[in-house]
Amino acid sequence: MMERWQLGLVTPMSATISTFAKTDGSWWTAVEAMWQRVSVAAENDRLDFHHDRFGRSEQASGPATAVPASPWDKRPPSSLFRAPGTTA
């Protein structure tokens, strides 16, 4: 898969989501440091739908740079794994 990616034969889900990628008409996902083919047809259709949606969206162009995109952007990284209002 990595060789195909380097040759430009792989299309990632979007500019910011590279854990799902399509090559040879099939979607693949990164699982435990390996690439695994998504074999369920309905899941492939859903991935195609979202890939098309991300291609038309500002979301596909990467993180917002002018203003924070969400309240999460304003929180320090160390607090992202704690519930709001807790200290530990």
The 10s digit of each residue's pLDDT in 42-54 is: 898 989 888 888 7
Lowest-confidence region among 4-18, 53-67, 71-85: 71-85
Cα distances (Å, whole numbers) of residue 88 to 48, 77, 80: 41, 14, 12
pLDDT score at 85: 57
In angstroms and rounded to an integer, the radius of gyration of the C-alpha atoms of the chain is: 17
Q: What is the pTM of this model?
A: 0.58
Give dist(CA 68, CA 50) in Å, integer.
Answer: 24
Closest CA to 41 of 25, 17, 18, 24: 25
3-state secondary structure of 69: coil
pLDDT for position 80: 44
Q: How confident is the model at residue 1 (pLDDT cuts 50, 70, 90)?
A: confident
